[in-house]
Amino acid sequence: MARPSSSTASTRAAEVPQASVELEAVTKVYGSGPTAVRALAGVDLRIEEGAFVAIMGASGSGKSTAMNIIGFFQSPTAGAYRFMGVDGSRLGRRQRTLLRRHFLGFVFQGFNLLARTTALENVELPLIYRGTAPAERRRLGLAALEKVGLAGREHHTSAELSGGRQQRMAIARAIVSEPALLLADEPSGNLDSRTSLEVMALLGGLNRDRGTADAGRGDQACTPGHQPQCSSRVPDHARHRHRRGCRDRPGDYR
């Protein structure tokens, strides 16, 4: 299988920024024997703090597989994956779950929203897993909905919202816990071209806002797939300061 190519819009600061994500010669093989599928074949990828990155490639080239490895849903068959300096192969199941909960936000392909549940309930879900108190959940949930332009729609169910608004709701759910890394798998794949541009602009804006307000913690990676109108939206503005000495690191959850 072809490797997904990567492009990063981040600009190197004078000091070398720390990598959030480092894949080194990562190979992923599904199955075994004659039916084995080599989804990734020796991929090297480095995503620095604050970067906004698109993983590009044709359908079947291994983009989702790469995202699943970066998000600790799958392990590489061979090669190394380090997240914020922590070697993924040393983490057990429970540690991976905690790491996902505390450091990562996901926008899944096809939204994965609960259809008959309100926007606010959907967005609060990651905070329930984190054990956040109800009043604080509500405050953070409303703030996340506002950030994605869904203020006033907190009581709508996802079934009542358009595709673009559902995607915004999925993004709000992914950012509500202020993740260090936001992963979005083909975030505009199911949307018309105008809506997909809006969604990419929203992701770029969130990255930029985090980059200045909270330098070094606003990383985002997304896979717009092979849609040129989306790749052109990966901004070239991303110029981030590297913040030293983040208080909590994934290693704290070992």
Ligand X SMILES: Nc1ncnc2c1ncn2[C@@H]1O[C@H](COP(=O)(O)OP(=O)(O)O)[C@@H](O)[C@H]1O
Size, binding site for Mg ion by CB under 5 A: 2
- For residue 161, the partner it binds in Mg ion, ligand X, none, with Cβ less than 5 to 8 A by kind, is none
Q: Is 220 helix (H, G, I), strand (E, B) or coil?
A: strand
The residues near 152 (Cβ < 8 Å, ≥ 6 apart) are: none
Q: Least Å distance between CB 220 and ligand X?
A: 18
Rounded Cα–Cα distance for residues 195 and 142 (Å): 22
Spatial strand order of the sheet with 37-48 comes to: 37-48, 19-30, 78-83, 86-87
Where is 43: in which H helix or E strand?
strand 37-48
- For residue 37, the partner it binds in Mg ion, ligand X, none, with Cβ less than 5 to 8 A by kind, is ligand X
User: Per rule CB under 6 A, is residue 193 in the interface with ligand X?
Assistant: no
**In the block, residue with structure tokens 């990651």:** 126
Q: Least Å distance between CB 184 and Mg ion?
A: 11
Q: What x-and-dash track marks residues 21-60 binding ligand X by CB under 6 A?
A: ---------xx-----x-x-----------------x-xx
Rounded Cα–Cα distance for residues 166 and 111 (Å): 7
The residues near 252 (Cβ < 8 Å, ≥ 6 apart) are: none
Q: Least Å distance between CB 236 and ligand X?
A: 24
Report which DSSP code applies to 251.
G
Q: What x-and-dash track marks residues 41-80 binding Mg ion by CB under 5 A?
A: ----------------------xx----------------
User: Per rule CB under 6 A, is residue 63 in the interface with ligand X?
Assistant: yes
User: Per rule CB under 6 A, is residue 62 in the interface with ligand X?
Assistant: yes
Give me the helices (H) in 156-219, please.
163-175, 193-213
**Site stretch for ligand X (CB under 6 A), options 61-69, 191-199, 209-217, 234-242:** 61-69
Q: Least Å distance between CB 227 and Mg ion?
A: 13
Q: Which is nearer to ligand X, 64 or 177 (CB)?
A: 64
**Site stretch for ligand X (CB under 6 A), options 63-71, 94-102, 171-179, 201-209:** 63-71
Report which DSSP code applies to 16.
P
Closest of 221, 251, 253 to residue 54, by C-alpha: 221
Binding-site ranges for Mg ion (CB under 5 A): 63-64
